């Protein structure tokens, strides 16, 4: 781990467990070893460190490329293992970087909605997630549902409220060969719908 990532990881674990009373459902299902694509709904800026601190070793994050425009963010985000991508139309270079990362045994977090939700609800996926999944058919895709992060830090809020957050972890999503080999925008959207449906189906209570 880069020192900045390690420090952030350690602080995040302490903060989420104490101030946000983090509750994790299905922690035993979490894929800690080997390559994995982690797909989750996106409620808040709290989500990336929330997910990152659950893993014992570093994970990477796909982030929309416009976040890298400010010079400061362009320097800091790579240190936090963030990779730029256009969620609507992933370019070959970005896809190749993701493929190399996964083939080396890495794990990567993707927020299929492409941006934070405006209302705390789970929305449809951007079409680009379907293209990414179809290119990486052999890699497990694990769904994770986040609840409560929106109440802590809504999209237009500048202050954090320390309220409970719950994370639910599901079994890897099963895709058929036909689903993965289908071509075109509609096929990509169908993969995205399946992913978001798997996230919605995860329980928030035990």
Q: What is the CATH number of the domain that holds 108?
A: 3.40.1130.10
In the chain, the largest separation of any two C-alpha atoms, in whole Å, equals 46
pLDDT of residue 154: 95
Q: Which domain holds residue 61?
A: 3-200
Q: Is residue 61 part of a domain?
A: yes
Handedness of CA 10, 11, 12, 17 (dihedral sign): positive
pLDDT of residue 97: 82
Per residue in 163-178, pLDDT (tens digit) is: 999 999 999 999 998 9
Q: Is residue 126 part of a domain?
A: yes
pLDDT of residue 88: 66
Q: Is residue 119 part of a domain?
A: yes
Per residue in 79-111, pLDDT (tens digit) is: 778 888 776 676 777 778 888 888 889 999 999
> How many domains is the chain partitioned into structurally?
1
- pLDDT top residue among 103 and 148: 148
Contact 50/12 with Cβ under 8 angstroms?
yes
Per residue in 60-70, pLDDT (tens digit) is: 998 878 788 78
pTM for the whole structure: 0.90
Can you say how many angstroms the Cα of residue 9 is from the centroid of all Cα atoms in its chain? 16
- pLDDT top residue among 188 and 122: 122
Q: List, in order, residues 6 or more apart from 198 with CB less than 8 Å away.
A: 39, 143, 170, 173
Q: Is residue 206 part of a domain?
A: no
Q: Is residue 205 part of a domain?
A: no
**Which strand (E) or helix (H) includes residue 199?**
helix 185-200
Q: Is residue 29 part of a domain?
A: yes
């Amino acid at each position: 781990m880069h020192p900045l990532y390690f420090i952030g990881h350690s602080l995040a674990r302490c903060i989420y467990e104490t101030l946000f009373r983090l509750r994790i459902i299905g922690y035993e299902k979490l894929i800690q070893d080997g390559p994995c694509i982690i797909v989750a709904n996106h409620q808040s800026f709290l989500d990336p460190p929330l997910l990152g601190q659950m893993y014992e070793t570093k994970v990477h994050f796909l982030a929309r490329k416009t976040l890298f425009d400010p010079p400061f963010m362009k320097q800091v985000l790579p240190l936090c293992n963030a990779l730029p991508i256009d969620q609507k139309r992933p370019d070959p270079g970005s896809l190749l970087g993701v493929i190399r990362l996964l083939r080396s045994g890495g794990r990567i977090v993707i927020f299929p909605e492409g941006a934070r939700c405006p209302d705390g609800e789970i929305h449809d996926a951007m079409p680009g997630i379907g293209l990414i999944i179809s290119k990486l058919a052999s890699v497990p895709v694990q769904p994770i549902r986040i609840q409560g992060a929106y109440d802590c830090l809504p999209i237009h809020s500048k202050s954090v409220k320390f309220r409970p957050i719950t994370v639910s972890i599901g079994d890897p999503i099963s895709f058929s060969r036909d689903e993965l080999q289908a071509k075109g925008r509609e096929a990509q959207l169908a993969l995205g719908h399946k992913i978001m449906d798997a996230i919605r189906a995860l329980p928030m209570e035990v």
